[in-house]
Amino acid sequence: MRVTVTDGISYLAIDPGPTGIRLRKGESALAAVSWSNTTEVAEDKASGTYLAGARRTGDRPTIWPVDISLGTTPRSR
């Protein structure tokens, strides 16, 4: 599925943008990912079965299954 990823404000949260973090031995970090499937036409519905993410470009991605309906929202013109 081809997607465009954008930073910014959504109805779910305010995106603070990229931030570097450094963890000490034994520390951990938590990240939350939200998805808003916004389409040009209401009938254009697509769904995926997984989310893939990597720490850096070129790194092997980690795959997380997506087992819920994420919904579709038509873009306002």
Answer whether 0.75 is exceeded by the pTM: no
pLDDT in tens, 47-71: 678 888 887 889 999 998 887 666 6
State both tokens at 42.
Answer: 């209401």
pLDDT in tens, 23-44: 999 999 887 777 766 776 666 6
Alpha-carbon distance of 71 to 47, in angstroms, equals 8
Q: Where are the alpha helices (DSSP H) in the chain?
A: none
Domain ranges of the chain: 1-77
CA nearest neighbour of 2 among 33, 44, 63, 65: 44
